[in-house]
Amino acid sequence: MKVAGAYLPGLVFSIIGLVPFVVGAWIAMRRGAEVISWPEAEGVVTQSRVETKGSRHAARIRVRFESDDGVLEIEPAHDYRYGGYASAAEALERYPLNGAALVRYDPSDPRSARLEAGFNLATFGLPLVLLGAGAVFGGVGALALRSGRLSLTAVEAASADVAASARRGETRLVAGFVLGIGVLMAVGGAVLLPGALEVRGWPAVTGRVERSEIYTRTSSGSGKVKRTITTHVARLFLAYELEGRSFVTPHDAKSSQSKARIERFLASSPPGSSWPVRVNPQRPHRVIALDSWPLVLPAVLLGVGGLVSWLALMLFRGRWLAAPKRAVRR
């Protein structure tokens, strides 16, 4: 059995796309059922804090509410553990200690509950991302499978005209696939560009280092000999003021595989020293380094996307797409 070269990557991309799509659909249906069928109860926040483990920050929010099984005190499910420190800190402001909180709970098991269960991004943001990723990878896989079929048709065709037509169809499909990638990259860059320009306009403030710490990240190296790569990260806890409010925010200032280098860096930034940053005025718990370059990513996406799109258009206009000229017999 002959198999075209595009079949294998097509199958791989299709499987990669199928997994997040199925998971996203399952989460979306489950959360839809929560919004529609679970009863709502008003509770009181009994715990509201940020838990930090390495590079992960999670809002720990406990709520006491009255259910059909009596008064319960639990930590409802929520998605304030995926957006970094800024998201967790904003959750604490939204749900302060002894404040009110609306929860929806499973009537068959009231200990299974969720904060902010509704038709909103807080509830459906994660499944939407998974569905989108699955659709993109699945589309790439479908294009590759189609390309494989056309290539196989060209190889097995008995007629030279049929083979040439199949090759032209395959080339057009490849060009369309490449053009789609280029357009997606360019659109992504265009979408990110306004936000990057806005970041450049964030107000610059001078933070004060309250304390610092070192945490580690581990990853597996590539190559025949597997080894663990440990990266040491210097975290500064910066105190600053913005519009009359005071904040203390952790900021990962430097990373290196050399712990001695990070220790020297922290020694040069002791508690009480100044550290300039830019602060998001709408989300003041989010800070970036003053010398950061937020325009790099959108500029790269726009440039590479434009180049890839141009190459795809050249494929469409190439001579190999033209119908083969037949020799005229005299």
Each residue's pLDDT tens digit, 197-223 = 888 889 999 999 999 999 998 877 655
Read off the pLDDT of each residue in 138-142 and give the average, rounded to a whole number: 75
Domain count, the chain: 2
Residue 61 lies in a domain: yes
Residue 148 lies in a domain: no
What is the Cα–Cα distance from 237 to 243, expressed in whole angstroms? 19
Range from 94-98, 158-162, 301-305 carrying the lowest mean pLDDT? 158-162
Residue 50 lies in a domain: yes
> What is the maximum span of the chain, computed from C-alpha positions, in angstroms?
98
Residue 286 lies in a domain: no
Residue 245 lies in a domain: yes
Residue 108 lies in a domain: yes
Whether 166 shows a pLDDT value over 90: the answer reads no
Range from 122-126, 134-138, 301-305, 320-324 carrying the lowest mean pLDDT? 320-324
Among candidate residues 69, 101, 123, the one where a domain is terminated: 123
Residue 188 lies in a domain: no
Among candidate residues 238, 263, 279, the one where a domain is terminated: 279
DSSP symbol at 77: B
Residue 227 lies in a domain: yes
- Geometric angle at alpha carbon 268, from 266 and 270, rounded to 5°: 65
What is the Cα–Cα distance from 308 to 296, expressed in whole angstroms? 18
Q: Do 114 and 18 lie in a common domain? A: yes
pLDDT (0 to 100) of residue 222: 58
Among candidate residues 96, 123, 150, the one where a domain is terminated: 123
Whether 224 shows a pLDDT value over 70: the answer reads no
Q: Do 25 and 114 lie in a common domain? A: yes
Contact 252, 55 (CB under 8 A): yes
Contact 76, 113 (CB under 8 A): yes
pLDDT (0 to 100) of residue 327: 46
Strands 100-106 vs 40-53: parallel, antiparallel or unpaired? antiparallel
pLDDT (0 to 100) of residue 227: 74
Q: Do 117 and 19 lie in a common domain? A: yes
Whether 58 shows a pLDDT value over 90: the answer reads no
Read off the pLDDT of each residue in 267-285 and give the average, rounded to a whole number: 92
CB-neighbour burial class of residue 123 (10 A; exposed 0-12, middle 13-18, buried 19+): buried
**Which structural domain range is residue 225 located in?**
203-279
